[in-house]
Structure 1
């Protein structure tokens, strides 16, 4: 028997044939990028991608992180000529993989014409497993262990594990988006959600000169490379911008002026790489304290769309995605209560008055000269 990894995709399959073929090709290229250090061969069929490799566990885990992938399974591949042949192979897998005690189930599905049904496979293989491992018992509702058998034409695939993926669309099937990457877990989740929708997310970190924050942002960026190894982190120094904001104005006005200048700076950086939108990393709680009026005042500074990927997500969902990014993330990270303070509605004219005193264009041009790009892919 040969070893292979079964890769399943979902949303791609419902696209029209030309789009599906295009997205499949993109996903295959992303898979090749993610497993460059492994020897492999790839085959594709409708709804499935098969990766023949000796390192099935490692490859299945890596590929499950890629947007577009619904699930993966390290599997054994055989070419049995009959139901008896399937039973023989299944017996070997069960003896190798099953615990000698507890319950089990056989799950089967077929594609193609055969002289036997999926029910025949489950019944006959189940009988053979009980003969070989008599201390086991059958439990079809909640088994301790399961042997899956997938028949596709003359090929049979046997596996006992299904690794959940993140689904969505393959990265590169949509356009580039600049992500305002603060370096906290929310910005990482925002990036991953955009990747999941097929966008080539381009994280942008505003460097205030705080070395600790910069290192934390870089470390977190490295955590999300498993979702797309070719990601690039852009950093730009904004110290000169912060220094030019008048010190005598209120904190609320300072924050608004800063946000408006930074979003314009992000737009300028996006223009250099043909990014079609910006994406915030603000959560629902943060936007609630900002108010929609003030949010609109900030976003009027840009001529391209600004997305808010985290809006509408409950804490439980954010925590699940956060744990996928960093399994060691504290459980209470998303249980922190929202701020009780809310920014007052700010008169746009006050903001414009302050901005007229600041040489915005020259400051943005100077900041652009500090732009740095970090990439860690070696392919």
Structure 2
């Protein structure tokens, strides 16, 4: 029976607060992997060890695909255990290496228990010599076909040949809560995941213009929340009807060139009110400098002046290819690529302002019944709790 070993990096730097971060990482690991797959879990020095149930042992491949959503973890391994003797460690290493394809190998030992009578280098040499003799494989220290890691702990040795990358960063919930403006496009889910990686728990708000647009964007956002919720169990989603606000802005007579900026400022105000309801201290957007007319430096500054909430923009300096790569790795890209109609595509001016002045926008905005429209939208917002969704083929196993 294998044991799941979880290594972390950044948490190790936390000093006196380290225990709090470790406990939260344990909670998130159980949440992502599922109680039915883990018999017991404990913190050891510098690592977390999870005993798998028979079901967990059978579903190791499926569990490995889940582990990228455990933020706070650097990497995982399904390890075998051996007694703290060179013969026992050698037998385990030979068994692991024999099961792998390849002609070259290296042994990488790390001695966490300094009372063990052999140094890490001596373990490498002794075990490596036995592997050469018994299996006929060649030692190659650089880019070997097989790398067998050996961790010498206080009461046992842990051995594995494959590392599984974790989510990195900090455990979700360790640095507060944010509300992401989730459009259904490629950028905002990646922005949400970036902040989750920095320890933020998230809620989400989506603005739609039904009946002027199709309900496709709502279904996309629900599906995106199902992916993002893999890292925290569930996500609170607010669905805000925005068409009446757009019609009111058009009917107000305020300058057309500022219309998209009015939309964005209204969205931030509504999101700020909903963030308070959700207990979120910050707003998160997928804004990307220069990507569209509303995301020039001048317009970003004008839009931000609508609220006092901190606004986090983790993708501001990314290029589109970088964002797409992250969306593909996260699992949101296929959903985000589905066709839909963004609410901001409704009543869009032919020539939007790209370098608006705050004073000019605020003067024109006085023609709009801002407070009434915000209150109306907040009162009409629908709330849903979206649970984590995993691939159907994984569920069936």
| Structure 1: gaps (5+ residues) | 333-340
Aligned equivalents of 2:159 and 2:39: distance in 1? 19
Aligned equivalents of 1:297 and 1:318: distance in 2? 25
Is the counterpart of residue 92 in structure 1 residue 90 in structure 2? no
* Cα-Cα RMSD: 2.5
2:222 touches 2:386 (CA, 8 Å); kept in 1? no
Mark the CA change 1:69 to 1:88 in structure 2 (over 3 Å): closer, same or farther: same
Tell me the secondary structure at the aligned position of residue 64 of structure 1.
Answer: helix
Structure 1 residue 349: deviation in Å? Answer: 4.4
Mark the CA change 1:328 to 1:309 in structure 2 (over 3 Å): closer, same or farther: closer
| Structure 2: gaps (5+ residues) | 338-350, 389-397
The answer for the alignment partner of 1:268 in structure 2 is 273
Structure 1 residue 223: deviation in Å? Answer: 2.2
- The counterpart of 2:300, out of the listed 295, 301, 310, is 295
The answer for the alignment partner of 2:243 in structure 1 is 239
Structure 1 residue 154: deviation in Å? Answer: 2.1
Is the counterpart of residue 277 in structure 1 residue 282 in structure 2? yes
Aligned residues: 364
1:291 touches 1:342 (CA, 8 Å); kept in 2? no
Tell me the secondary structure at the aligned position of residue 234 of structure 2.
Answer: coil
- The counterpart of 1:373, out of the listed 370, 383, 388, is 383
Aligned equivalents of 1:92 and 1:344: distance in 2? 64
* 1:215-234 paired onto structure 2 within 5 Å: 215-234=219-238
Tell me the secondary structure at the aligned position of residue 182 of structure 1.
Answer: coil
Aligned equivalents of 2:107 and 2:314: distance in 1? 40
Aligned equivalents of 1:188 and 1:286: distance in 2? 16
Structure 1 residue 353: deviation in Å? Answer: 4.1
The answer for the alignment partner of 2:201 in structure 1 is 200
1:9 touches 1:71 (CA, 8 Å); kept in 2? yes
Aligned equivalents of 1:84 and 1:347: distance in 2? 75
- CA offsets, 1:240-259, max 9 Å, x none? 11111125555431111111
The answer for the alignment partner of 1:66 in structure 2 is 70
Aligned equivalents of 1:366 and 1:343: distance in 2? 27
1:290 touches 1:343 (CA, 8 Å); kept in 2? no
Aligned equivalents of 2:67 and 2:81: distance in 1? 19
Give the TM-score, by structure 1 length: 0.88
- CA offsets, 1:301-339, max 9 Å, x none? 101111211122345543432221128659x9xxxxxxx
2:3 touches 2:49 (CA, 8 Å); kept in 1? yes
The answer for the alignment partner of 1:312 in structure 2 is 317
